[in-house]
Amino acid sequence: MPVSIRLDAVLPYDHDLRRIPETARLAESLGFQALWAAETRHNPFLPGPLIAEHTRRLHFGTAIAVSFARSPTTLAYTAWDLARQSGGRFTLGLGTQVRGHVERRFGMPWPDSPVGKLREQIGALRAIWKSWQEGKALKFHGEFYRLTLMPPFFDPGPIEHPAIPIFIAGVNTGLARLAGEAAQGFHVHPLHTPRYLAEVIRPAIASGARKARRRLEDVQVSVTAFVIPDDSSREEVRQQIAFYAATPSYRSVLALHGWESAGEALGRMAARQRWEEMPSVIDDTILAAFAVDLSRSAEPAEALRLRYSGLADRLSLYLPLIPGERTAFWRQLLDAWEAG
């Protein structure tokens, strides 16, 4: 029986470019479908050329690159080059980040309408790519961007795989609806529960797809899941959930379950930099809602499949792929996944 959910891998946040070829070859040999890079401590695009060069079938992409830190044209050139080099294996994953990071970490303006600006970025990207592929004048007019100049000297010309998939990321319904309207996929934030996916995220994507007269099947739901692979990692996962749950814009997930007070407490602790106290707020009930405990499952692949069947099209674990670490775990998981 074929596996309906594609299993992907993620690079560590502190990845070393010198190890990317080894990691990419490992991902492909294990049977992962894609390898994702996040924008945390490093540029998320730089691993791309190395992944493409050292693999043959493995897809790869950003999950995510901060969209508001870049112009549409800058993004367009990078994605175009990676699509050309890889033979169409690159996916451009974009995320808005939150206001504090955009303004204070990247030094860029935060828009009055984040959803509107991201929608316009997607439209601008496609207008630029169409201009290059068809050799026509660039004409894009919007509220945030006006793009009308593309002389031949700056036009890279057509490529073999110009339909570059765009995934966007989010937690709340506005961005999920936008994915349904205009993207090829939606990166689900690790801070989610199956109930939140079923009752909030997937209906919002479906609503956006209906609005744009698209099929829901045209939008891949890519989930990154918190997992507890062994008892030694339990408290680390609890700490990471606490860190994310302190973000005010992510409170909707907690609210669905009636855990607003936990989010408020975490926010107060984070504001006072009481990081060591925050995991105590994440009790075992909250932990079980957000994380899959694989350490207590005889069949980890089946536990993941049961949790995300009908909810995810792609699945990554919030557990980086690192050569020499957890090799037996990954091999057993992938073998069981393929066996279905």
Residue-wise pLDDT tens digits, 279-330: 999 999 999 999 999 998 889 999 999 999 999 999 999 999 999 999 999 9
Q: pLDDT for 86-141, tens place per residue?
A: 999 999 999 999 999 999 999 999 999 999 999 999 999 999 999 999 999 999 99
Backbone torsions φ then ψ of 186, nearest 5 degrees: -130, 120
Average pLDDT of the residues in 166-180: 97
CA–CA distances in Å: residue 185 to residues 13, 72, 102, 126, 295: 22, 18, 23, 15, 30
Measure CA of the first residue to CA of the last residue in the chain; give whole Å. Answer: 6
- Reported confidence tier of residue 69, pLDDT bands at 50, 70, 90: very high
Sorting pLDDT into bands at 50, 70 and 90, what band is 1?
very low
State yes or no: pLDDT of 148 exceeds 50: yes
User: Exposed, middle or buried, 56 (CB in 10 Å: 0-12/13-18/19+)?
Assistant: exposed
* Model pLDDT, residue 249: 87
Helix ranges, the chain (H): 20-30, 47-54, 72-86, 99-104, 114-134, 173-182, 194-196, 202-211, 234-245, 251-256, 260-271, 284-290, 300-308, 327-339
Angstrom distance (rounded) from CA 324 to CA 263: 37
3-state DSSP percent of the chain in helix, strand and coil, to 5:
50, 15, 35
Tokens representing 245 are 């749950």
Average pLDDT of the residues of the chain: 96
φ, ψ for residue 71, nearest 5 deg: -80, 155
Residue 301's pLDDT is: 96
Q: What is the pLDDT of residues 188-225, one digit of tens each?
A: 999 999 999 999 999 999 999 999 999 999 999 999 99
Per-residue pLDDT band for 4 (boundaries 50, 70, 90) equals confident
> Hey, what are 241's tokens?
């959930």
Structure tokens at 217: 């099947």
